[in-house]
Amino acid sequence: MFFDGFQLKHVTVRGGSIRLRHGGSGPPLLLLHGYPETHAMWHKVAPQLARDYTVICADLRGYGDSSKPRGVPGHANYSKRAMARDMAEVMAELGYLGFHVVGHDRGGRVTHRLARDYPKRVRSITVLDISPTLKMYQSTTRAFAKAYYHWFFLIQEAPLPEKLLQGHVPGYILSRLGRGPSKLNHFDKRAVAEYVRAFKDPRTIHATCEDYRASATIDLVHDRKSKTRIKMPLLALWGRQGVIEALFDCLADWREVATDVRGRALQCGHFIPEEKPKELLLELRRFLRQNP
């Protein structure tokens, strides 16, 4: 079954309401999804991890069924700092002041900010198929802009991208999910239906544009001001068939901002938890055992 044994919950934080599923027992482990998905992306790995951990799968602010506030000038309410604060408050509300975090894509960027802003709470971080945001923008080339065109499309001033995207769901969502060589073969139809449902809401389209606008503006300010290196253990995994492998040096990039970095490429594209769940589970279990 889909998330068998997990409970659905909404937790109120200063920024609104965060939808999550939680299950299992053991050390707390927070899983954060990427774009254009919801917490449903963890359905292949969360139940397995719940055998040894208390697993919390949350919808980021603006995604799924979490709150979708209107963007403000400067995009501060969709900064990764604001989104990380949501998650720190969620975990505190659940009774966890120390926890591990795994983040894919946008969730990885929130994970990065959690490590910076809450170093006494975050025990370890795992980032999936990303290099640091500042490094990626500083390294922009024609090849990167072509491969990640949505980074530059979604940051355009509202309401241009919002207007262009409305009416193009599910086509747009399916095109983002299926951009790798395996197309949509690895995606459960129930999960895809959840992503499409969420993006049919115009508020989700606006909120996710604001997420990207924040990454190109206020997030870069915060990253430039963060001079202290991340000290907790960091695992970086990326897809050998993806853009990170082709255009970046993922381990070197993370070693510029963190002191304890390890990781490797997996034989897949961008959506690691859905494309290679068994391999991801092996890597996570090894890493988490080594860093309790």
Q: What's the rounded mean pLDDT across residues 127-150?
A: 97
Q: What's the rounded mean pLDDT across residues 154-160?
A: 97
pLDDT at 115: 98
Residue 108: HSE in the Cβ half-sphere, 13 Å Cα cutoff? 22
pLDDT at 171: 87
Catalytic residue IDs: 105, 270
- Whether this model's pTM surpasses 0.75: yes
Q: What's the rounded mean pLDDT across residues 198-214?
A: 97
Q: Which residues 6+ apart lie within 8 Å of 219 measured at CB? A: 79, 80, 81, 109, 113, 133
pLDDT at 1: 62
Q: What's the rounded mean pLDDT across residues 131-147?
A: 97
d(CA 6, CA 208): 26
Q: How far is CA 3 from the centre of its chain?
A: 19
